[in-house]
Structure 1
Amino acid sequence: MVDLKLIQEFVKSRMGADHSGHDVAHIQRVANLCAHLLAAHPEADHIIVLAAAWTHDILDDKLVDDIEPVRQRLLVTYTAAGLTEEQVGTITEIITHMSFSKNLKHHYQLSIEGQIVQDADRLDALGAIGIGRAFYYGAHTGAPMFDPQIEPRTDLTKKDYRQKSPVINHFYEKLFKLGDLMNTPEAKQLAEQRIQVMQNFVTEFKAEWEFKS
């Protein structure tokens, strides 16, 4: 039997002090969204999905300076939790290739388990929560909220994507695009609702920013 709590405790010890919007609360929401999506996909391995959901940010190079020691501790934790070598390989494949930045120039075809985790992670970047996280991360990196003189970027590489940009531009560069990138019908439906919330917000934000008596 796999002990998911062991994996969860390891992640909490690593991400508990995060102030970039990739904290334990984010991870828990992603896991909850995965559980929702799994209800429509009984063919998916629940253990792989939930283990990947809990560890999907643990090796993110924008959050971790020295990845290799963390990778080794993660592998030890996977094994101690009772995951098989095959399961670890599948989970590693998911968390290595699911991010938006990794798929800017090459679209990785993920397993159904990977598709569910990727959808859940992207859904948590949308809606009211997504708005909050976008500004939270912008403040974390020192990005300005908005600059009408700076146009949203197009045809981004990973290097370009990691460069500081106004938060409002991030909605056009990434967030508004996520609906078309969802894998499952259930995620597409949720994304449509959440993107509408963000579009309304951005319209109101710009109107207030440009307000003149």
Structure 2
Amino acid sequence: MDLQTLQSHLMGLVRTHGCLRDISHFNRVWRNAQLIAEDYPEADRMVLLVASYLHDIDFTPKDSPLRPQGSRIAAKKTVKILEEMGGFSKSAISSVAHAIEAHNPSAGISAETLEAKIIQDADRLDMLGAMGIIRNFMYAGRVGNRAYCEEDPLAKNRDPDETLFAIDHYPQKLFGLANMMNTQKAHEIAENRINFMHGFLAQIMREVGPLDGDGPPV
């Protein structure tokens, strides 16, 4: 089965888990994986494709006590799906399962293969840049968090608290993701997307910060 046909089949299998993990998220993870893999021609594209679309086949919410088991459950379901589909070697199925198990750090499973490292990076990249900003505010709206702290929007004189303010998630977690990437290519992409997010925060301050009377139009 060629990759395009396989992709179409996988798109019919994926389940949407809220607005943050819908088909567009899986499409972007696959796109990110392909972008990273440009520097790694030895990476198995079939493994990357399947793991991109099925890594959240059994998504477990962050506040669930089963969260650490979520990626393992997704991997087991994926193994069953691939065995029923047929045409996949045992080694290929094992590689896909490992990539899915290891993609979520809360599982405590190290990404040992190149494909697992790429999938983990590709999923993390979707938390950054313009899409990261969109997803962050979608989540904040869903749980009822405020966009920013009126008194100190950028947490200059307080500890950031992502449970209260949407943009506090950036310094509290997201800005550290670049140094957590497994591949150099993903690190470079992450740095670019984080720079974009810093620009977004700067624009927020131009719009909500103190008026100085002499600044440029915002």
Normalized against structure 2, the TM-score is what? 0.76
Aligned pairs (5 A) from 1:43-62: 43-62=42-61
Letter aligned with residue 114 of structure 1? A
- How much has 1:207 moved relative to structure 2? 4.4
The separation in 2 between residues aligned to 1:28 and 1:60, in whole angstroms, is: 16
Corresponding letter in the other structure for 2:208 = W
Structure possessing the higher radius of gyration over alpha carbons: 2
Q: Which runs of 5+ in 2 are unaligned?
A: 213-218
RMSD: 3.0
Among the aligned pairs, what percent are the same residue? Answer: 27
Q: Paired residue for 2:110, among 104, 108, 111?
A: 108
Mapped pair 1:143 → 2:172? no
Residue of structure 2 in register with 1:121 after alignment: 123
Change (3 A) 1:63 1:86: farther
Question: Given that residues 30 and 121 in structure 1 are in contact (C-alpha distance below 8 angstroms), is that contact kept between their aligned partners in structure 2?
Answer: yes
Q: Structure 1's 207 and 99: CA in aligned 2 closer, same or farther, altered over 3 A?
A: farther
What one-letter code is carried by the residue in structure 2 that aligns with 1:141?
Answer: V
2:18 is the counterpart of 1:10: no
Distance 1:69 1:181 in 2: 24
What residue is the counterpart of 1:31 in the other structure?
A: 30
How far does the alpha carbon of each residue in 1:95-151 deviate from its partner, in whole angstroms, 9 at most, with x for none?
222225x17xx5723310011111111112111111111111111222221234862
1:179 is the counterpart of 2:178:
yes
> Is residue 2:96 matched to residue 1:91?
yes
Q: Give structure 1 stretches of 5+ with no counterpart.
A: 154-162
* Cα distance in 2, alignment partners of residues 93 and 210 from structure 1: 47
C-alpha offsets along residues 11-48 of structure 1, whole Å, 9 cap, x if unaligned? 1xx11x732x2211111011112112222111111111
Distance change >3 Å, CA 43–CA 109, structure 1 → 2: same
Instruction: Give the match's secondary structure for 1:10.
Output: coil
Deviation sequence 1:61-101 (CA, Å, 0-9, x none) = 1189897997765433222333333322322222222225x
Which sits farther off after the overlay, 66-75 or 45-54? 66-75
Structure 1 match to 2:168: 169
Check the 8 A contact 2:178/2:191 in 1, yes or no: yes
The TM-score normalised by the length of structure 1 is 0.78
Q: Aligned equivalents of 2:121 and 2:77: distance in 1? A: 26
Change (3 A) 1:56 1:107: closer
Cα distance in 2, alignment partners of residues 169 and 64 from structure 1: 19
Change (3 A) 1:63 1:8: farther
Judge conservation of contact 1:115–1:183 (CA < 8 Å) in 2: yes
**What is the letter of the counterpart of residue 117 of structure 1?**
I
> How many positions carry a matched residue from both structures?
197
